[in-house]
Structure 1
Amino acid sequence: MPAGDLPDLPTAPPTVLTHAPVLRALQAERPIVRVCTPAGDEAWLVTRYAEVKQLFTDCRIGRTHPDPERAPRIRDHVMLKATDLYEHETEHAEHAQLRALLTPYFSAKRMRELQPRVQLLTDRLLEEIAAAGPPADLHRALSLPLSVRVLCELLGVPYAERDRFQELVHGMADLSDQQRSEAGQAELIGYMSDLVSRKRRRPEDDVISGLCAVEELPDETIAGIAAIVLFAGYDSVADAIDLGALQLLTNVDQRDAVLRNPELVGGAVEEILRTAERGGPGLPRYAREDVEIGGVTIRAGEAVLLDTTLANFDDSVFAEPDRFDVTRAPNPHVAFAHGTWHCLGAPLARIELQTVFASLLPRFPTLRLAVPVEELRLSAASFTNKLVEMPVAW
Structure 2
Amino acid sequence: MINAAALPFGLEPPGRDYARNPYPALARLRDDAPRYFAAERDAWFISARADIAALLRDDRLDITQGSSFADRSDPFRTTVVRRLRRWFATAEEALAHIAAAATKACLAELTRQGEGDLVATVAHAIPTRVMAALLGIPAGDLPALQFAAEGLLQSYDLPWAGRPTAVAPAARVLGLYFQHHWRAGPATELMDLLRATQAEFALPDASMIDTCSKLFSAGTTTTGASIANILARLLGAGVESGESGSPDQIDDLLRLDTPVLGIKRVARDEVQLGAAVIRPGQGLYLLIGGANRAPADASQPPLTFGLGRYHCLGAMLARLEIGALLDAVRPLTPQLQLCGPVQWRESWLLHEARSIPVKLHGVFDAD
Query: TM bucket by the smaller chain?
Result: 0.7 to 0.9
Q: 1:222 aligns with which of 192, 208, 212?
A: 208
* Number of aligned positions between the proteins: 342
Q: Tell me, in whole angstroms, the C-alpha distance in 2 between the residues paired with 1:191 and 1:238.
A: 21
Q: Does the CA contact (< 8 Å) of 1:168 and 1:185 recur in 2?
A: yes
Q: Does the CA contact (< 8 Å) of 2:118 and 2:357 recur in 1?
A: yes
What is residue 31 of structure 1 aligned with on the other side?
34
Q: Tell me, in whole angstroms, the C-alpha distance in 1 between the residues paired with 2:207 and 2:179.
A: 9
Say yes or no: does 1:291 pair with 2:271. yes
Q: 1:335 aligns with which of 292, 304, 307?
A: 304
State the secondary structure of the residue aligned to 1:297. Answer: strand
What is residue 119 of structure 1 aligned with on the other side?
100
Letter in 2 for 1:164: A
Deviations 1:152-194 (A, max 9, x none): 112332333112322332344455455x420220221111010
Q: 1:14 aligns with which of 4, 14, 17?
A: 17
What is residue 387 of structure 1 aligned with on the other side?
353
Deviations 1:350-393 (A, max 9, x none): 1111111111121343434333xxx3222337984432211123
Rate the CA distance shift 1:363–1:29 in 2: closer, same or farther, 3 A.
Answer: closer
Q: TM-score, normalised by structure 2?
A: 0.81
Q: 1:203 aligns with which of 184, 187, 208?
A: 187
Q: Tell me, in whole angstroms, the C-alpha distance in 1 between the residues paired with 2:287 and 2:274.
A: 15
Counterpart mapping for 1:134-153 below 5 A: 135-153=115-133
What is residue 363 of structure 1 aligned with on the other side?
332
- How far the C-alpha of 1:97 sits from its partner, in A, is 4.7
Letter in 1 for 2:346: A
Q: Does the CA contact (< 8 Å) of 1:8 and 1:35 recur in 2?
A: no
- How far the C-alpha of 1:94 sits from its partner, in A, is 5.3
State the secondary structure of the residue aligned to 1:304. Answer: strand
Deviations 1:35-90 (A, max 9, x none): 25xxx5210111111111111111122225xxxxxxxxxxxxx747xx97246xx5
Q: 2:293 aligns with which of 313, 316, 323?
A: 313
Say yes or no: does 1:213 pair with 2:182. no
Gap runs ≥5 in structure 2: 156-162, 362-367
Q: 1:100 aligns with which of 79, 82, 87?
A: 82
Rate the CA distance shift 1:169–1:110 in 2: closer, same or farther, 3 A.
Answer: same
Q: Tell me, in whole angstroms, the C-alpha distance in 1 between the residues paired with 2:51 and 2:226.
A: 25
Q: 2:318 aligns with which of 343, 349, 360?
A: 349
Letter in 2 for 1:379: R
Identity rate, percent: 21
Letter in 1 for 2:344: L
Say yes or no: does 1:241 pair with 2:227. yes
Higher relative contact order (CA 8 A, sep 6+): 2
State the secondary structure of the residue aligned to 1:228. Answer: helix
State the secondary structure of the residue aligned to 1:157. Answer: coil
Q: Tell me, in whole angstroms, the C-alpha distance in 2 between the residues paired with 1:86 and 1:221.
A: 6
Gap runs ≥5 in structure 1: 65-77, 259-263, 319-329
Letter in 1 for 2:194: L
- How far the C-alpha of 1:275 sits from its partner, in A, is 1.2
